[in-house]
Amino acid sequence: MATVAQNITTITTQAAVLDSLVTQFLAAKALIDTAENEIRQAQPTANHHARAGRIRLALYAHALMGNPGLNGGKTVAALAAEAWTGVS
């Protein structure tokens, strides 16, 4: 069993890892949001809301963080690939 000091070190070290992941998540979300908006502008009559993974993909990723079994545990990349296959 770890000591209190060791546990505090683990917590603070991993908190820094989480800070880095938050920064990466926000950057990826911004890129995804921009791409989704550009697709909607390029295809104004398409209903991309009808297909899971075509909009708000970053929100799905966020939900997976709290519930890894969501949607059968399908990865964000797998959902995106399935959602956008054949769209141009």
**For 8-62, how does the pLDDT look when each residue is reduced to its tens digit (9 = 90+)?**
999 999 999 999 999 999 999 999 999 989 998 999 998 888 787 888 888 899 9
Q: Can you give the pLDDT at residue 28?
A: 95
Going through the chain in order, the beta strands assigned E by DSSP cover none
Per-residue pLDDT for 88 more than 90?
no
Q: Can you give the pLDDT at residue 64?
A: 93
How far apart CA 45 and CA 61 sit, in angstroms, is 26
Per-residue pLDDT for 76 more than 90?
yes
Q: Can you give the pLDDT at residue 86?
A: 85
How far apart CA 14 and CA 77 sit, in angstroms, is 25
